[in-house]
Each structure stands twice: as structure tokens, then as C-alpha cells.
Amino acid sequence: MKNIDDAFSFFKQLLYRGAIATVTATAVLTPQLTPPVAATIESSPKEIVDQVWQIVNNEFVDRDFNNSDWLAMRQTALAKDYDNQQEAYREIRRMLRSLGDPYTRFLSPAEFELLTNQTSGELSGIGVTLTIDSVTGKILVSDTFPNSPAALAGIRKGDFIVKVDNQLTNFMGLEQVSQALRGEIDTQVSLEIQRGNQVFTMDLIRSQVHLPSVSFSYRDEGSIPVGYIKLDEFSSHAAEQMQDAIAQLSEQNVSAYVLDLRDNPGGLLFASVDIARMWMEKGSIVRTIDRKGGDQQFFANHTALTNAPLAVLVNEDSASASEILAGALKDNKRATIVGSRTFGKGTVQSVHTLNDGSGLAVTMSRYYPPSGINITNHGILPNVQQELTVSERNRLEINPSLMGTSADPQYVSAIGILTNTVLSERERSNNPISISQETANTF
């Protein structure tokens, strides 16, 4: 069973995940991104402390506040004097720690901006995915976004970023480099790129970049054509990207689909519901219950885009909105779930803009899959459990392009299941059960 430290470590891992070096929503989020009341330099530190207290007091799912004296905590916090925002932020984090919930978190203005970018699926920058090269320790371009400034300028996967605006990146962390690449639209950033033995400089103009949540491809798997879809997170654009992926693969007459939710930490609640409806014609998707017992249920609404056989890949880092989708597809017998037990994140957070531009995510409800089980700390158990060995996991982590290929054992298992399903359906359609005339007349 995961403890709070494990969950918080997971939160921090996602918060500064190297893939796009922006905050990732670790919980199912219900955004409350209203403009700050007074986002000015005059916003007092004490005002922010009280604003956080009020939101938690009104929304936190545990009405006993983890058996802490929440009212006394406010009195203590407001009795203090704060010389600056950082002192107030430390006090806020102290208050929130008493709740014992790693997902009720305070975010500094910089962290909150990153979270907003991630869940909106947009940011202002050059459009690259960065990682740290495991051999050299250098900042490596692992991908570029289509039609982004980086892609249009010719930056390639495998390039090293040596300098950003004359600053050597080997003295910067991944997050620092990512922040340096982001900036206002139409501003310039200068890069020194190493490609093999070549080193050259490029000047790029930042623009608004749409972060892809969905990637997909057609796979010829011998007996059957398969549509492979990788969903990285449930951003505000994820549903429309998923719809486009299914439509394009359907036009190529795929016989089955593999939906890869591995390492997907979650995102927006409504994105998970919308995507579930693309695969499910009917049935319950998820149920949420708040602190007052308020019950909200979401159902499929007869708008499925395909009824083709489906396998879903999950692992221990498939969390939150991923678990909503996987749970709905499993419990409604719409898909076969393949992989390892999921993370076990069964709560919903609302996200609030605070008066100084910082933010607060507060756990406001718990969610339950159609089966009604509590997945917190337990996760979703796949229909077909297949754990990767340490060497298999390391190979896929070092070279993510191997995911969803014959070098990926969980994908291979999914293809085997889908092949059997499709061939069995073909056999039944080619050899329908004959009905005798005598039997037919009794109908």
C-alpha cells in the first residue's frame, strides 16, 4: 500500500516531469480558474494565507480535516506577521501538511502557470520535448511538436541544446532550460545546437504551442490491421485529439485498437468522461461523492465512435483520469486491460487561482468506477496481468520509441488478445449457426 510520502513523491515527479518540463495534473482536476480578485503586488501575504484557509474549509473532502483543529490553525496563521510572500507560502504549506493529503497542494505563481499551461494543452515557447541524455548528461531534444518554431526551424530529435541565450545548459537543470525556452509570444530565443560533430546557432521566435496529448499510428500486425493510440495526459484538447485519432484510423479500416495509458498521470475529469464516451455506447463511466454526500454520476450517451475490439495498456504510473477510463472500459466489458496494477488515485481536485497569481489544488471529492470499489492505494487490476522485468522496463525507458512495438511485451500480449478476438469474430460471421425450418417455425 502506498503511503503519503510515496504519493507526494509521485506528485513531485509529475510536477517537474522531464518530458515537457511543465506541471502535470496528478489528480483528476475540476478547474476553477477564475481570475484573481486582486492580482497585484499589493496583495498581502496574510490575505493569501486566509484565502487558502477559506477554500480548504469550504471544499476539502474530509470534514474532520484529518482530525486537526482547522479553526485554530487559521487563528495561529493570521496572528503571525509575514515580511514577504515566501514566508506566507511556507505557512500555507505547513497548514496543508496537517491534512495528510498529498494532492491538496499549494502552487507558487510559476508552478501554477505551468499547471495551467499543461491542463490547457497550450504554452508559449518553441515546441520541443526535452530529456537528459543518460550517457552524456546533456540536454537532449527527444521530440518536436508539429508546426512549432522548433520543427519549422529544422531542430531534430537527437539534437543537443548546448546554450540558451548564451547560457551553457550543462550548468542548468532540465526545468531551468525549459523555463528559459518559454516566454512571451513573438520574443526571440537564441540556441546553440550540437548535431553529431556539428555545432551551430539558431534564432527562434516563440509562439503559442499546442501540446499534443494523443499520438497514433496504423500497425500491420499480420492477421489484423491495428490502430495504436498513445494518450499521454487528459488535457483540455485531449478529447478532440482522440476523436481525430479514431476517425483517421477508422478510415484506414483497422480491425482493432490498442489504447496505451501507461505513464499517463491523469488530468481533467471531463476529458476522461468525453473520451470514455467515444469507446462506450452505454453504461456507467464514473461516480463522484463530495464531503456532503453529493453524488454525481456520468454515463455513456450512445455516441461511441467505434465498436471495434479494444485492448488498454496500463502500468503502475497510470493514475487518476487514466484509472477512470480504464475502470469504465473494464467494468463495462468494453476492453481488455493489459499490464500491471494502476497507481490507485481515487480523488478529484478543484484548482483555484489565488489573489497573487499562485494556485491551490484541493481534494473535493472521491470517485468510484462502475464496480463501486475504492481504488485509492489499490488501483485497477488488469484483466491480463503482465509485469515487465527490470531489464524490459529499462529498455523501454531508455528508448521510448520501442513502446507499442514488437519489443514491448505488454503490447505484444495485447496484439495476441486482439488477434484471437478478431479472428474468432470472423469465424462466427463466416459460419453462422444454421436454424432448421422446424425450429424457425416455432419462433
Hey, which residues are catalytic here? 320, 331, 345
What grid cell was written down for 201?
A: 546557432
Residues 278, 303 contacting (CB under 8 angstroms): yes
79-88, Cβ contacts within 8 angstroms, sequence gap of 24 or more: 80/46, 81/46, 82/44, 82/45, 82/46, 82/49, 83/45, 84/45, 85/45, 85/48, 85/356, 87/45, 88/45, 88/46, 88/48, 88/49
CA within 13 Å, CB half, 63: 4
The C-alpha atoms of residue 251 and residue 241 are separated, in whole angstroms, by 16
Residues with Cβ within 8 Å of 93's Cβ and at least 6 positions away in sequence, in order, are 106
Buried b / exposed e over 350-385, threshold 16 CB at 10 Å, is: bbbbbbbbbbbbbbbbbbbbbeeeebbeebbebeee
Inter-CA distances, 341 with 232, 358, 416, Å: 18, 34, 20
The C-alpha atoms of residue 311 and residue 328 are separated, in whole angstroms, by 13
Rg for the chain, CA atoms, rounded: 24
Residue type for position 409:
P
